[in-house]
Amino acid sequence: MNGEAFLLSLRLAAMVSLLLLAFALPLAYVLAFFRWPGKFLVESVVALPLVLPPTVLGFYALVAMGPRGPLGKFWQALFGHSLAFTFAGLVIASLVYSLPFAVQPLVASFEAMDRRLLDASAVLGAGRARTFFRVILPLAWPGVLTSLVLSFAHTLGVFGVVLMVGGNLPGITRTVSIDIYDHVQALDYASANRTSLFLMLVCFVILSIVYAVNRRVWSPWPVE
């Protein structure tokens, strides 16, 4: 098994899931607690990566990151090198790719919240920020964990997008799924099987943890 590719995938998934959480929390808050005209459009955009083929995402990411694309030009001006075929480019493309997996569990857990708790918080004098950090976030923690883990696991398996924007540079953009693909191309089924099995196990364990927590198997406070 290619350890380098696996570590790279882990690094990518960790980075993407953490960045996505920071971005998804305010987005999910606005989606769950406010109504505004055109909200359905934002919801559709957030869900789009669920249904689009990763190659479509990857294609537009590549165009955007290319030397003539807006993102590519911006990046070039900022750092002096191109964005395509770099780890940073991979992170950015994966952010879009895993966005729905980060946002939707958060929206679901926010929407399931007892609104009277938020009312109680307001009447007791707490502003929006304090209500968010003292009431919403602690009570929505299974949703936060689900968001984090699902976007992590989903990014771990990213393939089509990487193929389009990352290429196959060992240690930089050669992720574990690309590695498996290469093994298969080389007819090295044994290696492909070892890596695939390992990836499958990792994802299974991660998902088991998420589902267990959402069933409140290990709850930090007694369930009513």
Partner 1 sequence: MSWAMLTVRIHKEFAGSGDTPFVLAVTASFAPGFTILFGPSGAGKSALLDCIAGLQRPDTGEIRFGKEAFFDASRRVNVSPQRRGLAYVFQSLALFPHLSVVENIRYGLVKLGVAEQRKRIERVATAFHIANLLDRRPAELSGGEKQRVALARALATGPRILLLDEPLTGLDASLRRSILEDLRLWHVAEPIPILYVTHNREEVDAIGERVLTLANGRVLESGSPRAVLDAPRSLPLAQAAGFENVLPARVVEHRAEDGVMRIALENATRNIEIPLGAAEPGSKVRVAIRAGDILLATEAPHFLSARNLLPGTIESIERRGALVQVRVKAGANFLVHVTPGAARSLELATGQLVWLVIKTHSCHLVY
Residue numbers at the binding site for partner 1 (CB under 8 A): 114, 116-117, 119-127, 130, 134-135, 138-139, 220-224
At 66 the three-state DSSP class reads coil
- Min CB(131)–partner 1 separation in Å: 10
- Min CB(32)–partner 1 separation in Å: 18
- Min CB(35)–partner 1 separation in Å: 12
- Min CB(15)–partner 1 separation in Å: 30
Nearest one of 92, 78, 75 to 166, comparing CA atoms:
92
Cβ proximity to partner 1, 22 vs 223, nearer residue? 223
Cβ proximity to partner 1, 99 vs 144, nearer residue? 144
Question: Structure tokens of 71?
Answer: 């993102």
> Cα 46 from chain centroid?
12
Query: What are φ and ψ of residue 83, in 5° steps?
Result: -95, -35
Cβ proximity to partner 1, 37 vs 127, nearer residue? 127
Angle subtended at Cα 26 by Cα 20 and Cα 30, rounded to the nearest 5 degrees: 130
Cβ atoms of residues 165 and 93 within 8 Å: yes
Cβ proximity to partner 1, 136 vs 163, nearer residue? 136
